[in-house]
Structure 1
Amino acid sequence: MPASETVMPEPLLVACLCAQWCGVCRDYAPLMTRTLAVFDAAHLNATWVDIEDHDEVLGDLDVESFPSLLIARGAEVLFFGTVPPHAQTLERLVQGALAGDLPRLPFDAEVQALVANVQAFRAASG
């Protein structure tokens, strides 16, 4: 590859796993949209998964606390867990992931399946 060509890393997948019946989730949805809007869309793919309407995305995983956030680059899981519903927390996590400061999480078959399912869900949702 010529030195002038740079390979762009795969965009981050940032997925919020929530439920419409959850008041915290309903409040978090617009906050997430506003917070992630400051990032270049070429570097970030965000999606919202209502786990009640699309429970097939979870596979064998149980989400017990909201909001739950998944951040991955390709098949590499960088973060999966419950987050406080604050813009600053989301922004710091995404900035860290974009900067390469979030280490890859140890392999977990259920979480890997979740990444694949969310990517497929996002592709099907347009």
Structure 2
Amino acid sequence: MTSQTIHLACLCAAWCRLCEAYALVLEREVADLASKGTALRMHWIDIEDEVELVGDVDVETFPTIIIADQDNVRFAGPLTPHPEAMRSLLRATILNAPPDARWPAAGPAIDAFAERLRTC
């Protein structure tokens, strides 16, 4: 069980049909992790409606996923909208991540976004 809340943000756009279809995949995977006792908070963020929250994050591809704990960004980038890709990412960054895992630097814009996300 994860002792801290993990934030999973999906940056998307309301007009994006790919994102719309991906929502079901993401919700299913989040429900599965929650059933395993993971403290996971999902954020579905329309980048056009949440400009202040997104800040300077440059979203080039939908969907873009950001996973952050209280101290680190664990993942930030686009992800193919396939259930197995999402499942693998979530298991690697949440379920199977050792407590002392070190994560690559995400950059100032992503770090600032993650900080704002933690307060939502």
- Regarding TM over 0.5, the answer is yes
Cα offset for 1:42?
4.2
Which digits, 9 at most, give the CA deviation of each residue in 1:98-120, with x for residues without a partner? 21167412152111101012223
Residue aligned with 1:75, SS? coil
CA–CA distance in 1 between the matches of 2:80 and 2:117? 21
Task: List structure 1 runs of 4+ shifted beyond 6 angstroms.
Answer: none
Who is 1:4 aligned against?
none
Tell me the amino acid that sits aligned with residue 18 of structure 1.
Answer: C
Who is 2:56 aligned against?
60
Who is 1:5 aligned against?
none
CA–CA distance in 1 between the matches of 2:71 and 2:47? 21
- Counterpart among 25, 28, 31 of residue 31 in structure 1: 25
Aligned-residue identity in percent: 31
Who is 1:3 aligned against?
none
Cα offset for 1:19?
0.5
- Counterpart among 73, 89, 92 of residue 88 in structure 2: 92
Which digits, 9 at most, give the CA deviation of each residue in 1:21-63, with x for residues without a partner? 0110111112211121111264211111111111111111221
CA–CA distance in 1 between the matches of 2:104 and 2:3? 18
Q: Which has the larger radius of gyration?
A: 1
With 24-33 and 99-108 compared, the bigger mean Cα shift is at 99-108
Indicate if the aligned counterparts of 1:76 and 1:105 stay in contact, CA closer than 8 A: no
Aligned CA RMSD, in angstroms, stands at 2.0
TM-score by length of 1: 0.81
Structure 2: 5+ residue stretches without partners: none
CA–CA distance in 2 between the matches of 1:95 and 1:117? 24
Structure 1: 5+ residue stretches without partners: 1-7
- Counterpart among 77, 86, 103 of residue 81 in structure 1: 77
Number of aligned residue pairs: 115
- Counterpart among 58, 64, 68 of residue 72 in structure 1: 68
